[in-house]
Structure 1
Amino acid sequence: MMLRSLCAAAVLGLAAPAFAQTAMPFALDWKFEGPSAPYFVAIDNGYFSEEGLDVTIEEGAGSLAAIPKVATGAFPVGFADINSVIRFLDQNPGAPVAAIMMVYDKPPFAVVGRASQGITTPADLEGRILGAPPPDGAWAQFPIFAAENDLDVSAITVEPVGFPTREPMLAQGEVDAVTGFSFSSTLNLIRLGVEEEDLSVLLMADYGVELYGNAIIVNTDYASENPEEITGFLTGVARGWQSAIDDPAAAIVSLLERNPAADPDLEERRLQLAINDNVLTGYVAANGMGGIDADRFAAALEQTATVYEFASEPDASVIFDGSYLPEGDVLMLSAE
């Protein structure tokens, strides 16, 4: 009798596993650096698991590479430049991918040069060599930056460079400036021994570029079938960013567990730059994280059209879908 009871209990235990988690692989745009720490905090603090999600994170090789990973369904969610998503959807109409949560309300797209090589303003790029990785989100927006600042692009020598060689080439004087994210290229150059006073960081958003930056993107087929999981993922993302804002040093501890070779001081500074300049903007402080302003987004699409010929009229509702954002105050980020 006792044996039958034990066997029955074992069968019930196998038939009804407790707290099953939904696998949620997440494709980053770039390496495991400071600005990716909030996502690891969300894992380590249990924010994703509380939503029933088992989130794993994969490094990226640039925003352009992250988009097809999500569009093909290899990853249900990713992190990419929304402007690259706009162009991807124009070139691949009907592709099952959309932005669903704005993270970089102010984009980090920048041209980073050296004052000692004569680069202090956009006009100084004429007659110089610009290093630009082809998959770089900042390089993708350079035509808008050039147009807004009346640059003669034919007078700029563009050198296609790889991500690993971009900053070393500038540090060695092989190029005069590079395109990149402000918090990445700047700190990488400082790490390579370039004096901070010698750096000229031309943030495109301060020179006429009216675009948004990186956003959480989703495979729309997956999202339509699993809306609660996607909202749960975004909840975890927002909570991870708030924790990183509250305690950047602790967030870097989570990062170092995945990237032990990282310089903790450098990555904490990189994270803080992203928070101050790109994430916790005045709009986000007033309206919460994740959403977009319809008028601003329409203006961004118009600006894109000045340098990019759309195959068809872009539909903002297809590009960005805010319906999966969590309700309540979880999106109201604040600085302590």
Structure 2
Amino acid sequence: MFSRFLMAGAVLVGTALSAAAETKMPFALDWRFEGPAAPYVVAREKGYFADKGLDVELVEGKGSLDAIPKVATGAYPVGLADVEALIKFLDANPGAPVTAAMVIYNRPATAMVGRKSQGIEKISDIEGKVLGAPPPDGAWAQFPLFAKLNGLDMDKITVEPLGFPTREPMLAEGTVQAVTGFSFSIYLSLARLGVPEEDISVFPFADYGLDYYGSAVIVNTDYAKAHPEEITGFLSAVVKGWQTAIADPAAAVELMPAYAPAIDTALETRRLKLAIDGNVMTDEVKANGFGGMVPERFAKALDQMKTAYAFKNAPTPELYFTDAYLPAADLRKMQ
């Protein structure tokens, strides 16, 4: 009897020590708990983070630039942000301890989205009309290059700064004729507001000249150097979360109501599928695996960026991305 109590006590102590040993790692998301956030919820709810000894808190964000200062200041060790926005941040803040460590959207989700009934059927139709653009929006940051590559005259476009909560409602009401943002977010949010899908015109920047990478997991480099195993473990769990979500998007989204009680699971499953098909599962990812960069493509992206953005410091790829913490390539294969 006494030995059984000792054994039971040992189990409880071991469990407590194991829980105490988990490293807390808050993760700054780029946006709300919508479908594309499901892979991170999967990684938490299915224990992928815990299996790596990590206690990960998922914190929703306010746009694709939001996480960069949070991670750069060390408030968060990891976050999710737009690569192009990160490049501009580091150019303005040289030496800041933040870099991208794993690409999520191999093909960027940034786009201009309009309504055909408001006269937006081709890119040039935005001239003479009103474009709604949230100032912290990564797509708005890319718009000048999109405009230059497609021969738009920025002086002929009236830009209306607006907040993220009012972006889709203002487009649905016709107050603005087009907006910038992530294509899948705007498209389905408009549909939810009752805008007929056949009335929505979508112009993904990646289809009109921009060869950028999109959103990526960013890390605080000081933290990563001190905790390399934890960062690799975190990235491994994220990969597994995406693999699971890609295999069954509906099941992944079904785990989300605990994070977003009012979520429309059918709508968010569709949004997740749009992100998977349009931004994650590219030919590059199928060939090389999830999360990395092709150096030649990234160099081309930097050259493109120079044509619309005046760098203060010479851009070099190693300032903005490292593959030092990526899990092995065979573990990053996507089906």
- TM-score normalised by the chain length of structure 1: 0.95
* Match of residue 60 from structure 1: 61
* Match of residue 48 from structure 2: 47
What amino acid is aligned across from residue 209 of structure 2 in structure 1? G
What amino acid is aligned across from residue 159 of structure 2 in structure 1? V
Compute the displacement of 1:30 (Å). 0.5
* Match of residue 187 from structure 2: 186
Compute the displacement of 1:124 (Å). 0.5
Q: State the Cα deviation string for residues 4-63 of structure 1 (Å, max 9, x = none).
A: x97xx88x949x823521111000010010000000001111111111111111010112
1:85-100 alignment runs, 5 A limit: 85-100=86-101
Task: Determine the C-alpha separation between the residues in 2 that align with 1:80 and 1:62.
Answer: 8
Q: Give the number of equivalent residue pairs.
A: 328
* Match of residue 300 from structure 1: 301
Compute the displacement of 1:255 (Å). 1.5
Give the % identical residues. 60
Give 3-state SS (helix, strand or coil) of 1:324's partner.
Answer: coil
Alignment of 1:32 onto 2:9: no
Q: State the Cα deviation string for residues 75-94 of structure 1 (Å, max 9, x = none).
A: 00000000000000000000
Task: Determine the C-alpha separation between the residues in 2 that align with 1:294 and 1:262.
Answer: 39
* Match of residue 107 from structure 1: 108
RMSD over aligned CA atoms reads 1.7
* Match of residue 323 from structure 1: 324
What amino acid is aligned across from residue 82 of structure 1 in structure 2? V
Task: Determine the C-alpha separation between the residues in 2 that align with 1:115 and 1:168.
Answer: 16
Task: Determine the C-alpha separation between the residues in 2 that align with 1:41 and 1:64.
Answer: 24
Q: State the Cα deviation string for residues 231-250 of structure 1 (Å, max 9, x = none).
A: 00000000000000111111
Worse-matched range after superposition: 321-330 or 168-177: 321-330
1:80-229 alignment runs, 5 A limit: 80-229=81-230
Task: Determine the C-alpha separation between the residues in 1 that align with 2:188 and 2:219.
Answer: 30
Give 3-state SS (helix, strand or coil) of 1:329's partner.
Answer: helix
Compute the displacement of 1:315 (Å). 1.7
Structure 1: 4+ residue segments shifted above 4 A: none
Worse-matched range after superposition: 217-226 or 41-50: 41-50
Task: Determine the C-alpha separation between the residues in 2 that align with 1:63 and 1:117.
Answer: 27
1:69-88 alignment runs, 5 A limit: 69-88=70-89
Task: Determine the C-alpha separation between the residues in 2 that align with 1:312 and 1:137.
Answer: 21
Q: State the Cα deviation string for residues 172-219 of structure 1 (Å, max 9, x = none).
A: 010000001001000000000000000000111101111110000000
Task: Determine the C-alpha separation between the residues in 2 that align with 1:156 and 1:315.
Answer: 33
What amino acid is aligned across from residue 57 of structure 2 in structure 1? T
Compute the displacement of 1:300 (Å). 0.5
Give 3-state SS (helix, strand or coil) of 1:83's partner.
Answer: helix
Give 3-state SS (helix, strand or coil) of 2:101's partner.
Answer: strand
What amino acid is aligned across from residue 234 of structure 1 in structure 2? L
Compute the displacement of 1:312 (Å). 0.9
Q: State the Cα deviation string for residues 96-138 of structure 1 (Å, max 9, x = none).
A: 0000000100001000000111101111110000000000111
Compute the displacement of 1:328 (Å). 4.7
Compute the displacement of 1:324 (Å). 0.4
What amino acid is aligned across from residue 128 of structure 1 in structure 2? K
Give 3-state SS (helix, strand or coil) of 2:48's partner.
Answer: coil
Task: Determine the C-alpha separation between the residues in 2 that align with 1:114 and 1:296.
Answer: 32
Task: Determine the C-alpha separation between the residues in 2 that align with 1:108 and 1:18.
Answer: 39
- TM-score normalised by the chain length of structure 2: 0.95
* Match of residue 289 from structure 1: 290
Task: Determine the C-alpha separation between the residues in 2 that align with 1:218 and 1:126.
Answer: 39
Task: Determine the C-alpha separation between the residues in 2 that align with 1:285 and 1:255.
Answer: 27
Q: Which runs of 5+ in 2 are unaligned?
A: none
Give 3-state SS (helix, strand or coil) of 2:65's partner.
Answer: helix
Task: Determine the C-alpha separation between the residues in 1 that align with 2:83 and 2:329.
Answer: 25
Q: Which runs of 5+ in 1 are unaligned?
A: none
Q: Is the 8 A contact 2:146 2:209 kept in 1?
A: yes
Task: Determine the C-alpha separation between the residues in 1 that align with 2:235 and 2:293.
Answer: 15
Worse-matched range after superposition: 205-214 or 321-330: 321-330
What amino acid is aligned across from residue 215 of structure 1 in structure 2? A
